[in-house]
Amino acid sequence: KQEVTQIPAALSVPEGENLVLNCSFTDSAIYNLQWFRQDPGKGLTSLLLIQSSQREQTSGRLNASLDKSSGRSTLYIAASQPGDSATYLCAVRLQGAQKLVFGQGTRLTINP
């Protein structure tokens, strides 16, 4: 059974720092991995989608990497801002199954 783990569960850093969020998964048989952002009481906003054949994707200050063989992904946020405060979720799309498996999320707080 695929399990997705995100570490840390919560992170608080001062504004301007670069930071890394971690996601690990137990089964490498995935089509892709997707990072989402969720603000309190809101829906999920897709940040980055990495296909299983790719190593990384970038969007603005965000960079996500994928090492499928080791079952790891990282989300790098450069020059963090208070507006980056949210919960970040990673999810893998399983091969042979019509579903996403989510991690529990990392709750990020950026302090001004």
Binding region for another protein (CB under 8 A): 31-32, 34, 36, 41-46, 49, 51, 89, 91, 93, 95, 98-100, 102-105
Smallest gap from residue 98 Cβ to another protein (A) = 5
Distance CA 28, CA 77 (A): 25
* 46 vs 81 by CB, closer to another protein: 46
What's the closest the beta carbon of residue 70 comes to another protein, in angstroms?
21
How far apart are CB 75 and another protein at their closest, in Å? 15
**Is the CB of 77 or the CB of 91 nearer to another protein?**
91
Residues 6+ apart with CB under 8 A from 53: none
Give the whole-angstrom CA distance, residue 46 versus residue 4.
17
Residue among 69 and 98 whose Cβ is closer to another protein: 98
For CA atoms 18, 24, 28, 29, the dihedral sign is negative
Q: Which sign, positive or negative, has the C-alpha torsion 36, 82, 8, 78? A: positive
Which CB sits closer to another protein, 15 or 27?
Answer: 27
